[in-house]
Amino acid sequence: MQEDIPTVSLPSGVNVPALGLGTWMMGEESRSEPDEIASIRKAIDVGMTLIDTAEMYADGKSEEVVGKAIAGRRDQVFLVSKVYPWNADSKGTIDACDRSLERLGTDFIDLYLLHWRGPHALRETVAAFETLKQQGKIGEWGVSNFDTSDMEELFAVQGGGNCAVNQVLYNLSRRGPEYDLLPWCQRNRVPLMAYSPIEQGRILRNAELIRIAKAYQATPAQIALAFLLERDGVIAIPKSSHPQRVEENRGAAGLDISDEDWDALDAAFPPPAKKMPLEML
């Protein structure tokens, strides 16, 4: 029996699994589509029911792949998509959302994010998100790639405090958010969604990570994900187009890492000693 995936509460009270699936690079090549669809369906089967996509990914084709994968299973999925910053004005946000809904084959996106800060005033984007909520096209909205000062600015805008999530680059080798962004989000009850949670595979060859993984009969990816699951209010969205890797990543939930090994991970991947500007991929 596998351990349950922990859940994270969004400000609205909706609970989402702390482990979901990313889909960047899906939809790029049609010959990969069967594997991508199988991976998304595997994620749903094993409880990683939060699926993250964006209008940017493969120019909308990622959303189309997600749409095919969740057809007939929409009610089992917590769907996240994102609007391009240059589309995020009053009308552009609504139009972009309509296009995403069409590609996703649904009439509802659970969580709609501003992909990163762009040319439009935050109050305009927030107002458009609130309109989408009233229209019943989205459940909640959030942001991505927002550092602490951006979050403060957002919260000063009318309705800005309704932000449900901030999705940022956060993993063992990118611990900058721990200095002040993660504590800020925890204090203000805005879950942090960690993207590139295994650093796109680059950290998996780290010798210390490999050593610790072996000690738990686990894999380096599982330990890297367990590190994120250990933190309050953090959601990790590893991407894989291989169903067996999705299953492997699912195994991160329930790993019971000792204090000594957390210390060893801190030594190998030191937490920040000072403010570091938020990194982006």
Cα 198 off chain centre by: 12
Q: Which is nearer to ligand NDP, 132 or 225 (CB)?
A: 225
Residue 57 falls in the annotated catalytic set: yes
- Contacts with 192 (C-beta within 8 Å, 6 or more apart), sequence order: 165, 166, 167, 168, 170, 177, 181, 182, 185, 233, 234, 235
Q: Nearer to ligand NDP by C-beta: 206 or 263?
A: 206
| Residue in this structure with the two tokens 């309050």, named with its chain if needed | 232
Residues 35-64 that bind ligand NDP (CB under 6 A): 52
Q: Which of 49, 125, 166, 241 binds ligand NDP (CB under 6 A)?
A: 241
- Rounded Cα–Cα distance for residues 78 and 53 (Å): 11
Give first-to-last CA distance, the chain, whole Å.
Answer: 36
Distance CA 35, CA 128 (A): 35
Q: Which position among 57, 112, 170, 195 bears the catalytic label?
A: 57
Of 55 and 260, the one with the shorter C-beta distance to ligand NDP is 55
Two tokens, residue 8: 């994270």
CA 100/CA 83 separation, integer angstroms: 9
Region of 8-16, 85-93, 151-159, 240-248 interacting with ligand NDP (CB under 6 A): 240-248
Task: Count other C-beta atoms under 10 Å from residue 223's C-beta.
Answer: 28
CB nearer to ligand NDP: pick between 58 and 221: 221
Task: Give the whole-angstrom CA distance, residue 143 versus residue 150.
Answer: 10
The binder of ligand NDP chosen from 125, 227, 249, 251 (CB under 6 A): 249
Question: Which x/- pattern, by CB under 6 A, does the window 127-156 give for ligand NDP?
Answer: -----------------xx-----------
Q: Judged by CB under 6 A, does residue 237 bind ligand NDP? A: yes
Tell me, residue by residue from 180 to 219, as one string, x for binding to ligand NDP by CB under 6 A and - for no binding. ---------------xxxxxxx--x---------------
SS3 state of residue 127: helix
The rounded Cα 278 to chain-centroid distance in angstroms is: 16
Closest approach, Cβ 134 to ligand NDP, in A, equals 25
Nearer to ligand NDP, 142 or 160 (CB): 142
Residue from 178, 248, 264, 276 in contact with ligand NDP (CB under 6 A): 248
Which residue of this chain has its Cβ atom nearest to ligand NDP in the complex? 22
State the residue for tokens 């940022």. 168
Q: How far is the CB of 2 from ligand NDP (least distance, A)?
A: 16
Among 235, 202, 242, which Cα is nearest to 220's? 202
Q: Identify residues 54-113 at the interface with ligand NDP (CB under 6 A).
A: none
The amino acid at 167:
Q
Which residue carries 């590609």 as its tokens?
103
The CB-of-124 to ligand NDP minimum distance in angstroms stands at 20
Q: Name the site residues for ligand NDP (rule: CB under 6 A).
A: 22-24, 52, 115, 144-145, 167, 195-201, 204, 221, 237-242, 245, 248-249, 281
- Which sequence positions are flagged as catalytic? 57
